[in-house]
Amino acid sequence: MTSVRLPEAELRRVLDATGRCSEVDGGTTAVTDVLDAIQGLVPCDVIFWNWFTLEPALVEHALVAASASRAPVRAPLGPWLDHLPEHPIMSGRYGPVTAVSDVLRGRDLEASWLYQEEALAPVGIRHEIGLELRHGADEMNVVVLSRGADRAFSERDRLLLRLIRPHVEAALGRAQARAPHLTPRERQVLTLVRDGLTNAQVARRLGIGEATVAKHLEHVYSRLGARSRTHAVTLAADVLARPS
**In the structure, what pLDDT confidence band is assigned to residue 72 with cuts at 50, 70 and 90?**
confident
Distance CA 32, CA 81 (A): 26
Contact (Cβ atoms closer than 8 angstroms) between residue 59 and residue 51:
no
Per-residue pLDDT band at 97 (split at 50, 70, 90): very high
10 Å CB burial of residue 5 (0-12, 13-18, 19+) is: exposed
**What's the mean pLDDT in 25-51?**
82
- What is the side-by-side strand order in the sheet with 97-99? 59-65, 46-53, 139-147, 127-132, 97-99
Q: How confident is the model at residue 224 (pLDDT cuts 50, 70, 90)?
A: confident
Residue 69 and residue 45 in contact, taking contact as beta carbons nearer than 8 Å: yes
pLDDT > 70 in the chain, percent: 84
Please tell me the distance from the alpha carbon of residue 184 to that of residue 242, in angstroms, as a whole number. Answer: 12
Q: Which domains can be identified in the chain, with CATH numbers?
A: 8-178 (3.30.450.80), 184-241 (1.10.10.10)
* Average pLDDT for 174-197: 81
Model confidence at 207, pLDDT cuts 50, 70, 90, reads very high
Nearest alpha-carbon partner for 146 in 73, 51, 61? 73
Distance CA 223, CA 106 (A): 38
pLDDT tens digit string along 103-143? 888 888 888 877 776 557 667 788 999 999 988 777 888 99
